[in-house]
Amino acid sequence: MAPQLLWDNPHLFHALLSCTALHLGRFYSEEPKWIHLASAHRKAAIDALPGATNPDANFLMTGLFAIYTISSSLSSSPKNIFSLMTSLHNVFSPFEGRHMNEDQRLKAVDPFSVNLQADLVEVLVHLQQIYDFHMPGFEPESEELFDPSIKAAYRKAVEALYIVYRLSQTGYESMGAVLWPGLFGGRFHGLLNERKQRALVLLYYYLGMLKCIDEKFWWAKEAGRCQDYIYGLLDVGWRGWVLQYDGSTKNYSIANSTRRLTY
């Protein structure tokens, strides 16, 4: 991040300081001053927004605020995962189909600048069953799939996970964290807020991805706790379905965490 861009844009400077302080707060959890400082800088960044016209600075601040929001939500309560998905969806979904920033220097940090082709991911091929009418043992629940818009919504969310998986394997994990909510679509967002079982299963897989990067990225800490919470919201049939594929995907970062689940 260019120093001159920080000096010339106080809102970006405060946003960076807020994430830095939050990072220190996670590292030194016994010292609450860092969390208070993070909150103060975040407020200062928001207060400095009126009149902020530099598109590069605004773009970078959006990314920093996304990191701040992910970390704060995951660390506070697992129940906040739904409001987190709403926040990320509302911020990033308008950029679907276009770039967030046209500056080539910032292309490397623009999540919508990567290849968004939803190529089939072999280790996740079983997720296609989420939008399959003939899923054994789930015939009563499959009635919702008679609505073409619902079936299409699940398919879109699954294909978005394919994209996220590919990013997680090529060093773009942070992009994947915001891309899934940005790509899964408004219809799926509604199904997720209704706590539909199929939607919860896909959220479980997304959180598994975050859990597997929490040693590399401080802001993903506590993703495993949220994943356990979502697992607890699944009925017995869907829990069994999730665990059924643990063996076949044991080398896959998302499903890896299912081995520790016994309830």
Residues in the chain: 263
Please report the pLDDT score of residue 98 as a whole number: 56
Structure tokens at 164: 């996220």
pLDDT of residue 103: 53
**What would the pLDDT profile of 67-96 be if each residue is shown by its tens digit?**
999 999 999 999 999 999 999 999 988 876
Rounded distance, CA 78 to CA 222, Å? 8
Percent over 90 (pLDDT), the chain: 48
Weakest mean pLDDT among 9-13, 166-170, 176-180:
166-170
SS3 134: coil
So what's the pLDDT on residue 105? Answer: 52
151 near 145, Cβ under 8 Å? yes
- How far apart CA 185 and CA 181 sit, in angstroms, is 8
Per residue in 15-73, pLDDT tens?
999 999 999 999 898 999 999 999 999 999 999 989 888 888 888 899 999 999 999 99
**What is the rounded (10 degree) CA torsion for 8, 11, 17, 23?**
-140
Sign for the CA dihedral angle at 151, 100, 117, 170 comes to: negative
Question: Which sign, positive or negative, has the C-alpha torsion 76, 211, 121, 112?
Answer: positive
Residue 164 — pLDDT band, cuts 50, 70, 90?
confident
Distance CA 16, CA 84 (A): 20
Q: Which residues are CB-contacts of 186 (< 8 A; sequence separation ≥ 6)?
A: 89, 93
Task: Please state, in angstroms and rounded to a whole number, the distance separating the CA atoms of residues 49 and 97.
Answer: 26
> Does the reported pTM lie above 0.75?
yes
Residue 133 has pLDDT above 70, yes or no: no
The per-residue pLDDT for range 218-237, each reduced to its tens digit, is 999 899 999 999 999 999 98
